[in-house]
Structure 1
Amino acid sequence: MLTPLAPQPRDPAALPRLLLTGVALALLWPGLTLSELDLAVLWQADNAATMGKFLAGFWPPAHDAEFLELLLQATLQTLAIATTGLCLALLLAVPGALLASRALSISALLRHGRPAWWAQALRWPVRGLLIVLRSVPEIVWALLFVRAVGLGPTAGVLAIAITYSGMLGKVYAEIFESVDQRPSRALLLAGSSRLAAFAYGVLPSAASELLSYTVYRWECAIRASVVMGFVGAGGLGQQMDFSLRMFAGAEVASLLLTFLLLVLCADLLSRLLRGRLQ
């Protein structure tokens, strides 16, 4: 004789999940209202016809010799802006991360992981500086520097350098604190300098993650340099702004394909470097 199946116990997390979903929907509705999102405008006859006519010009992408020469120059300029800006950001980010991190704190080592109050007080100004640097978007810095130094790549380089120094410094400091601290602590207890403890105790464990994040930020810098081109900072963005103003869909298609290729190359470079370090 078959015995009836026992009733399945009720999921104890069902009610919290339902409440969380309700809260999320309640918060989402005012956000949609304040953003004035109206997808219906995409299907209005005039807008749809204009967009369709513009997209129809995407094929075939522009490939004449004169435009390809301009495209190559803009691509190289975009790479130069992103790379130079990132290198300048590293000059401030690495020292800032070392000063803001507790990974090499001698007071924390002597106090069983709890740094002294004065050591914490010395780190707060550095952390505050990193917050200030990354709190202003690079596009805003680019607008300010365009007013200060004029149109051209210099504004983009300085904007990336300032914003990304704060971003890199914050994440680097967190990476330094997240790795195994025992090698660096052993070196510090043996009398090594903080620089030696960092080079031989922290850096080997953090190198892969540091490199991966740095390459990711370089990819972000490429995208940012394209966006800043719309405000006159040079590169692919400035050329794309010109092509959009002229409704040259074929040129826009070539620019988008070039941008896609740059991001793909950055991703492949990140995979290759991480594979070498593992």
Structure 2
Amino acid sequence: MKSAQQAMRRDLPQRPSMHWSTLTLLAGIVLLVFASFASLPLKLHEFFGADAVRTSIEFLRGFAPPELAPAFLQKIAGATFETLAMSAIGTLIAACFGILLGLPASGRFGVAARLLTRSILNVLRSIPELVWASVLLIAAGLGPFAGTLALALHTIGVLGRLFAEAFENCPSLPEETLRTNGAHPVAAFLYSTLPQCSPQMMSYTLYRWENNIRAAAILGVVGAGGLGQMLKYHLSLFQMQQAASVIVAMLLMVGVVDALSYLLRRMMTR
């Protein structure tokens, strides 16, 4: 009995030992965290002081009660629809161009096309949505059009890179089998690689749609329309009750979209 137990213990996978490089990396991260706290002028005693707490409470009291006038709620509904439209159209455009740029970025058209496309994707996603919106407002003017383009350009860089990684990691044997049997390369890709990658690509697209809804709600700060523009307008006039209604609408919108995206992802995984 003891010999059998010893044999079973020998067959169990051994716990990997901690390498010195891993310990060095962890120690460096801990030192960086401590150095960050030590170097930044964090005035925590003032932040949690009695004056700060009293001022914060007085500021939050100005938001109550939220504005619930029917005419104002109708404006919020229109701005909410505008925010959803901006995020949905921007994500749809980004998904289409992400597929087009993800194919050469995955190395299907040679090394030169891969490097060029990945450089373009890096530039697109390295510039935040607010910066894109600030630049596009000069050309497209105030309104949701500039916000939609800003979301699309940034999301093209993100989804293009994710789609390229999905194409690269997808098993190539089914496509190679079809091409060996005489299928056209485009048909082999559409009937083998794309169906395998589509659930993962759809999950990436839904996740970016969630992020774009939050970003679209903020882009209005620079004049790109939607709930963000309403929030900036009422805060600049110190109309706190109206701003509270806009903030509540943002929270409800993000919560509903998160739940809807979760249900869609669950349906795809099944």
TM-score by length of 2: 0.84
**Aligned residue type for 2:247:** L
**Aligned residue type for 2:57:** G
Which residue number in structure 1 is paired with residue 93 of structure 2?
88
Instruction: Pick closer, same or farther for the CA change 1:151–1:34 going to 2, 3 Å.
Output: farther
Match of 2:228 among 226, 237, 254: 237
| C-alpha distance in structure 2 between counterparts of 1:259 and 1:249, whole Å | 15
2:213 matches 1:222: yes
Give yes or no for contact 1:61–1:254 (8 Å, CA) kept in 2.
yes
Please state whether the residue corresponding to 1:180 is helix, strand or coil.
coil
| C-alpha distance in structure 2 between counterparts of 1:234 and 1:197, whole Å | 43
Query: Structure 1 residue 19: deviation in Å?
Result: 4.8
Match of 1:259 among 240, 245, 250: 250
2:21 matches 1:30: no
**Aligned residue type for 2:207:** Y
Which residue number in structure 2 is paired with residue 149 of structure 1?
140
The aligned length equals 254
Query: Structure 1 residue 159: deviation in Å?
Result: 0.8
Tell me the alpha carbon deviations over residues 89-136 of structure 1, each in whole angstroms, 9 at most, x when there is no partner: 23321110111114xx4xxxxxxxxxxxx8212221111111111111
Instruction: Pick closer, same or farther for the CA change 1:41–1:192 going to 2, 3 Å.
Output: farther
Query: Structure 1 residue 54: deviation in Å?
Result: 2.0
2:68 matches 1:63: yes
Instruction: Map 1:1-278 to 2 at 5 A.
Output: 13=18, 19-33=24-38, 35-102=40-107, 105=108, 119-277=110-268, 278=270
Instruction: Pick closer, same or farther for the CA change 1:249–1:41 going to 2, 3 Å.
Output: farther
Give yes or no for contact 1:86–1:218 (8 Å, CA) kept in 2.
yes
| C-alpha distance in structure 2 between counterparts of 1:201 and 1:14, whole Å | 41
Where does structure 2 lack aligned partners over 5 or more consecutive residues? 1-15
| C-alpha distance in structure 2 between counterparts of 1:159 and 1:255, whole Å | 22
TM-score by length of 1: 0.81
**Aligned residue type for 1:199:** L
| C-alpha distance in structure 1 between counterparts of 2:173 and 2:19, whole Å | 42
Percent identity of equivalent pairs:
38
Query: Structure 1 residue 18: deviation in Å?
Result: 6.1
| C-alpha distance in structure 1 between counterparts of 2:266 and 2:50, whole Å | 52
